[in-house]
Amino acid sequence: MVEANTTFYGRPSEATAARWREQTPPEFRFCLKVPRTISHDRQLVDCEEEIALWIDVLRVLSERAGPTFLQLPPDFGPDKFPLLLRFMENWPADLSLSVEPRNAGWFDRAVEEELMQRMRDFKVGRILYDGRPLKAVESNDTYILEGQAKKPRVPTRASATAHHIHVRYMAHTDLAANERWLSQWREKVVEWLDERRDIYFCMHSLYDAHMPALCQMFHSMVSEVRPLPPLPDPEDAVPGGQMSLF
């Protein structure tokens, strides 16, 4: 599985989506971010054509399409709830969708309860965003400070609203330090596995080179409690070279 942030900046062609499908094994899943023209530029207003074109891309991916995720902009608050409700209501039932609220207003207790219930009604997953590890980094490094500033400061949640679970984990730059937060997620992941839910645990780091070790760390932690299939060897080359996004 791969979470593709690049689609936020541009919708891939159907030909590109077909190539992705052909070049990946049957168990592979793409979790694609909804283009910003829909989420940020138009904020779900008068973008029916763009939404239809986006759905066409997901249809071409077919079974390779994991949950697509709608990241709401920081200024998209509860006052725009009707727009979000209409989007979720009209979303095709056979395509998995996750939504990431970033405005602080969504975390008001009454608003959040209503949001969660409506997500359950529409079988839409909530992005379970965990920015605590990255925010906990103490550094004067400009790159790290900029990375921290770009991420939202919102409470971490771990409640399921759909059969699929979509976690976005922002890693601490010290690999070993992540065990503190990953041990908490391990308990939830084991619980969800026992419930036979589809889990998409997406890990992010400011340092791409850390990712193989970070994924292996969490995989090993979960496997200690509940055996998992082995991860692919990160040293294995991709046949034919790395795929092109577009």
Q: Residue 95: its pLDDT value, please? A: 96
Residues (pLDDT < 50) of the chain are 237-246
Tens of pLDDT, residue by residue over 190-232, are 999 999 999 999 999 999 999 999 999 999 999 999 999 888 7
pLDDT value, residue 236: 56
Nearest-angstrom CA–CA distance, 77 and 64: 32
Residue 164 φ/ψ, nearest 5 degrees: -90, 145
- The domains of the chain are located at 1-123, 128-234
Residue 216 burial (CB count, 10 A): 12
Residue with tokens 């084991």: 190
Task: Indicate the pTM of the whole model.
Answer: 0.90
Q: Looking at the domain 1-123, which fold is it?
A: TIM Barrel (3.20.20)
Angle between helix 81-90 and helix 109-122 axes, rounded to 10 deg: 20
Q: C-alpha distances in angstroms, 24 versus 19, 65, 75, 241, 242?
A: 9, 11, 37, 13, 11
Average pLDDT, the chain: 92
The torsion angles phi and psi of 127, rounded to 5 degrees, stand at -65, 125
